[in-house]
Amino acid sequence: MGPQLEAAMNLLFPANGSRIGNLKFFRGVSREVTAEQLSEQYVSAENQIQSRTAVLVADVDGDLAD
């Protein structure tokens, strides 16, 4: 198990405290995503939330062409 996957597991399923019960990931157009790559993105997002540097996107489809 890689370091990012282990870090993601520790964030999602800590030994003590609240645990995630239902989580879904959207892989986008790329189906060739490894568990380590997905974990890296999750850990990065969680770090941005904790450090209050995350940017809220209210309309995730706003940049799509009609």
Give the start-to-end residue ranges of the domains of the chain. Answer: 3-50
pLDDT value for 13: 85
pLDDT value for 53: 96
The residue type at 13: F
pLDDT value for 62: 77
Read off φ and ψ for residue 55, nearest 5 degrees. -110, 120
Q: Which residues of the chain have pLDDT under 50?
A: none
pTM of the full structure:
0.70
